[in-house]
Amino acid sequence: MPIKRSSRKAKSGDIFGQPRRRPKMLRAGLYARVSTNDQQTLPMQIRALQQYTARRGWTIAMQTREVGAGAAQRQFREQIMEAARRREIDVVLVWRLDRWGRSVTDLLATLQELEHLGVGFVSLTEALDLTTPAGRAMAGRWQSLPSSKGRFCANVPVLAWHRLD
């Protein structure tokens, strides 16, 4: 019976003949927010965002925590946007979409600005990752949403909005 011998061919690590690229080490800006001081979820949000960042192999460039109602000017969110404009971060990571956007219009405007800047966006609990082709395709479907005044319905697991009349 013939003896099987392993191939002496060196393994190149190529994928389908293409050299394997190392994943880019992204710099993440973490944003956590609660509406009132009574809510105790800030530490949980930050911990989950930090763990996700570590699993992806990203570095934390900045981390902000904010307490305030949705209608108020979000000072720390603006700091994240300023860091994106200065190219200090490569991706914005949030707990939920309603923690980031005040309304559907506001959310779409900030996502478009981040896309224009080449900065990714990840919403952890909605499993929305705009750093991937599938996530960007999903965001493209949002363009068809009405641009009237609206707000998020936070208790619904999908992106929902209610008219403010």
Active site positions, annotated: 35
- Cα dihedral 100, 90, 52, 155, rounded to 10, equals 20
Tokens of 110: 């900030």
DSSP characters over 51-69? HHHHHHT-EEEEEEEEE--
CB 125, CB 159: distance < 8 Å: no
Mark out the alpha helices in 19-144 (DSSP H runs): 42-56, 75-85, 97-100, 104-117, 133-142
Q: Please tell me the distance from the alpha carbon of residue 136 to that of residue 142, in angstroms, as a whole number.
A: 10
CB 100, CB 76: distance < 8 Å: no
